[in-house]
Structure 1
Amino acid sequence: MSLFELFLISIGVSMDAFAVAICKGLSLPKMSWKHALVVGLYFGGFQSIMPFLGFLLGSQFKDAIVSFDHWVAFILLGCIGLNMIKESFSHELDDCEDPSLHPGQMLLLALATSIDALALGVTFAFLQVKIVPAVSFIGFTAFFFSVLGVKVGNMFGAKYKSKAEFAGGLILIFMGGEILIDQLFGI
């Protein structure tokens, strides 16, 4: 996997965290960098941990499915992407209603926004990605977009939440298709 592909995937899986971070920014009467950094650390941390756990899980059974692993990667990334696109059309703003940064709430939000990263980690096992640099890059990207999301939410409001989820979903579907085409046709 090239650095550019990893960059695109990192952006794709960071979009859920970005969307929730926008909601956190909406709830702040005044921009607080401390709050933005806390949100970034939760989301960036979970976006690093979950693909690592998925990689460990996927490594356990990758040899059994090596002949069709590209289909697994395509299906997983496609499903994650389609789900993100579906969520982008949802007009629920439930995550925007509570402005707290309570650790229990942040853990749940970080876990919820990183479930797709767990599946991505399984895909990484099939693609034999160097996991430590990959999850570090993903975590940093999610951290950056989460901090940015708090700032954007505080400045502009909820109108970017659905666009971020939609763009992230498209990126993941594109990457799944690219993996499939590369394996089937060697392009």
Structure 2
Amino acid sequence: MTPLSTTLLAFSMSTDAFAAAIGKGAAVDHPRFREALRTGLIFGVVEGLTPLIGWALGLGAARHIAAWDHWIVFILLLILGGRMILGGLSTPDGAGDAPAPRRQAWWLVAATAVITSIDALTVGIGLAFIEVNILLTALAIGAATTLMATLGVLLGRRLGVLVGQRAEVLGGVVLIGIGTTILVDHLGLW
């Protein structure tokens, strides 16, 4: 792979994390750069590791994962996004003035990162078929995702001010949108 194709691959793999990070940033009360970077690093590390795992799985698992990855991602994002929407809508009328959390639990950020990186696992399997420096490619994917997810949280912070107490609903809608886009894309409905 050329440096340009590696860069394009890296940034295309980061788009799901970017969109999910926007929702994360919108659901947190004024996340600071440190919180945005923490979220970006979690997404980046996970997104950088999954192509390595996929590459290691090799040819045998490729058919099984490629056949179902889009359904797995869709269902997981639907559940996680639905949970966020229900949480945002179930706020009692009197509790609407309660402040948003200062930061999200690391396990929730990590779960979202794992869910949005399942496609990178499949890409890693595909990379096993071509001559590629998998370590350099995985590093590029992780770095691009760290950058894009950090920017996503910071952008989501601005959106959170506009959306107000329903920011968690926005985050859930974004996650469901990502899952639906992945499903529609893999089913060839575009």
TM-score, normalised via structure 2 length: 0.65
* Whole-Å separation in 2 of the counterparts to 1:2 and 1:24: 33
**Amino acid corresponding to residue 84 of structure 2 in structure 1:** D
2:84 — aligned with what?
94
Q: 1:54 to 1:151 in 2, by over 3 A?
A: same
* Whole-Å separation in 2 of the counterparts to 1:14 and 1:93: 23
Q: Note the alpha carbon deviations across 1:51-107, whole angstroms, 9 max, x for none.
A: 00101111xx37xxxxxx9xx8xxx5xx86xx88xx8xxx96837958542232222
1:143 aligns with 2:146: yes
Q: 1:31 to 1:104 in 2, by over 3 A?
A: closer
Equivalent of residue 129 in structure 1, options 115, 127, 132: 132
1:155 — aligned with what?
158
* Whole-Å separation in 2 of the counterparts to 1:142 and 1:43: 6
**Amino acid corresponding to residue 121 of structure 1 in structure 2:** G
Q: How does 1:110-121 map to 2 (within 5 A)?
A: 110-121=113-124
**Amino acid corresponding to residue 110 of structure 2 in structure 1:** L
- Structure 1 stretch 100-109 or stretch 127-136: which is displaced more? 100-109
1:53 — aligned with what?
53
Identity rate of aligned residues, in percent? 28
**Amino acid corresponding to residue 149 of structure 2 in structure 1:** S
Contact 1:46/1:110 (<8 A) preserved: yes
Contact 1:14/1:141 (<8 A) preserved: yes
Contact 1:15/1:165 (<8 A) preserved: no
1:15 — aligned with what?
15
Q: How many residues align?
A: 158
1:38 aligns with 2:18: no
TM superposition shift of 1:10: 1.5
* Whole-Å separation in 2 of the counterparts to 1:147 and 1:46: 14
What is the CA RMSD across the aligned residues, in angstroms? 3.9
**Amino acid corresponding to residue 36 of structure 2 in structure 1:** A
Q: Secondary structure at the match of 2:128?
A: helix
* Whole-Å separation in 2 of the counterparts to 1:165 and 1:129: 28
TM superposition shift of 1:11: 1.7
1:108 aligns with 2:118: no
TM-score, normalised via structure 1 length: 0.65
Q: Secondary structure at the match of 2:126?
A: helix
* Whole-Å separation in 1 of the counterparts to 2:53 and 2:27: 32
**Amino acid corresponding to residue 37 of structure 2 in structure 1:** L
Q: 1:151 to 1:20 in 2, by over 3 A?
A: same
Q: Secondary structure at the match of 2:129?
A: helix
Q: Secondary structure at the match of 1:126?
A: coil
Q: Secondary structure at the match of 1:35?
A: helix
Q: Which runs of 5+ in 2 are unaligned?
A: 89-99, 161-169
2:91 — aligned with what?
none
2:25 — aligned with what?
25
Contact 2:28/2:104 (<8 A) preserved: no
**Amino acid corresponding to residue 45 of structure 1 in structure 2:** V
